[in-house]
Chains A and B, each alone.
Chain A
Amino acid sequence: MNAFWRVVWVVARKDLAIEARSRELINTTVFFAVSCVVVFSVSFVGEGGDGRAIGDAAAGILWIAIAFSGTLALGRTFERERYGDTLRALLLAPGARAAVYVGKLLGIIALLIATQVVVVPLVALLFQASLFEHFGMVAALLVAGTIGFASVGTLFAAMLARARSRDVLLPILLYPVTIPVMIAGVRGTSALLAAEPQLDMARLWIMLLVSFDVVFVTLSLWTFESLMTE
């Protein structure tokens, strides 16, 4: 069991070390997420003087920005591996393949959370959305949703690392499967942003997200083992 976590730590630390030096992924992903939010905000803010977004736009835009920037980050994380041909080396390393998966997953989750640290206040500002009122629940939603999205995303991105047309195939494959996560995230967030925050509804969506996480991580772990045996 210890060997497993050691591999996980080695893989995750490698990614963090590379990232800490160049900060390429974090800078570009954050800026892309910010541009997404800005583009959406000019499209969806209502005509009225108070600048409130149409309906539940704030919740939807937050999650869309996460999904889009997450997809790009996933593609580029494995592009880096492919470029250095390190993926093969990683998989040949002693220790369970699953540990490699978990290591990469933790790296992606860290990157996405870091992006959200910037994007959440931005959305709150641009849409005058009270995201910090029930911050604990908003954070729970974001963390659970990020884990769900990233777990499937890491699997698919790894799978596609050497495939043809991988750039466009990643979103094509990823979005249908992660739509339940998106729905739960958006509904939970908009329940909290409503004029009368519905804490019970939000709690329900959080629990649903957690069950998605369990299913997706388990399925991804099992599939990663079988898929990477080439």
Chain B
Amino acid sequence: MRKAIVPLFAASGLIFMTAPILIARAPYESTMGLVQKIFYFHFPPAILMLVSSIFCGILSGLFLIKKRPVFDWMAFAAAELTVLYGAMAMVTGPLWARKAWGVWWQWDARLTMSLLMWMVFVSYLLLRRYGGPGSETLAAGLALFGMATAPFVYLSVNIWRTIHPLTSVVPTLPVDFALPLWYAFLGFFLMYLALMALRVRIEEQRAMLDQLYLESEE
């Protein structure tokens, strides 16, 4: 995993530097014009936030069952990345909404549920930071609840009447829009892997440090 960190960063960095070219060459959307270009940096982090929350939940469940530290390290990293990508989605979203809908924010189902999920994972981080010893297991329990909200976030636009675009938009994208989108998505995904690898390595080193510290005191 360690060897992969720098190449992953390099690859995703390259994609992020070249993505704007592809995005600028993509056609404008008929009703939204220039502001729709935010889509290419809004959809990938939003979807990855959902995936990350599920990933964190699964890892937390594995940690509770198997008790192996590596699951805990990965769950912690996944939670941080959920918050990071969620923040990106929820800053780019309102910037787009201001022009497209006329308002920064709306309490419709999709936005409310997304904010909720984001807050659950922020509280996860607060628990890890300030909960003292034993907070790994407690946080793992919390992450399960966070994961439970993921399907609701995704399906909310289809079930309730919302102002947010439906889930049918992305699967039916014309290729001129789809190409830059999935290219950008690849960049966000590789960056996710890179950051996760980096973060897990930090936890791994910390654990070794603690272990060594304990040994040196004998």
Is B112 engaged at the interface, CB distance under 8 Å to the other chain?
A: yes
Contacts of B127 in A (CB 8 A): 163, 169, 172-173
CB distance B126 to A159 under 8 Å? no
CB distance B116 to A219 under 8 Å? no
Given the interface pairs A177-B120, A226-B141, the reply to whether A163 lies near B126 with Cβ below 8 Å is no
Given the interface pairs A163-B138, A226-B65, A230-B137, the reply to whether A180 lies near B130 with Cβ below 8 Å is no
CB distance A163 to B131 under 8 Å? yes
Given the interface pairs A219-B148, A226-B65, A227-B141, the reply to whether A165 lies near B123 with Cβ below 8 Å is no
Q: How far is the CA of A219 from the CA of B141 in the complex (A)?
A: 9
Is A23 engaged at the interface, CB distance under 8 Å to the other chain?
A: no
7 CB < 8 A contacts A-B = A169-B126, A169-B127, A173-B142, A176-B123, A177-B142, A219-B145, A223-B144
What is the CB-to-nearest-CB distance from B146 to chain A, in angstroms, rounded to a whole number? 8
Name the residue in B126, B130, B141, B149 with the highest tally of chain A Cβ atoms < 10 Å from its Cβ.
Answer: B141
We find that the number of chain B residues with CB closer than 8 angstroms to chain A is 27
Listed in ascending order, the chain B residues whose CB lies under 8 Å from chain A are: 64-65, 112-113, 116, 119-120, 122-123, 126-127, 130-132, 134-135, 137-138, 140-142, 144-146, 148-149, 152
**A137-187 with Cβ < 8 A to chain B:** 152, 155-156, 159-160, 162-166, 169, 172-173, 175-177, 179-180, 183
Q: From DSSP, what is the main secondary structure of chain A's interface residues?
A: helix
What is the CB-to-nearest-CB distance from B113 to chain A, in angstroms, rounded to a whole number? 8
Q: From DSSP, what is the main secondary structure of chain B's interface residues?
A: helix
Contacts of B113 in A (CB 8 A): 180
What is the CB-to-nearest-CB distance from B112 to chain A, in angstroms, rounded to a whole number? 7
Is A20 engaged at the interface, CB distance under 8 Å to the other chain?
A: no
What is the CB-to-nearest-CB distance from A178 to chain B, in angstroms, rounded to a whole number? 10
Given the interface pairs A163-B138, A177-B120, the reply to whether A169 lies near B130 with Cβ below 8 Å is yes
CB distance B144 to A219 under 8 Å? yes
Query: Closest residue to B137 on the A side, CB-wise?
Result: A227
CB distance A179 to B123 under 8 Å? no
**A183-230 with Cβ < 8 A to chain B:** 183, 215, 219, 223, 226-227, 230
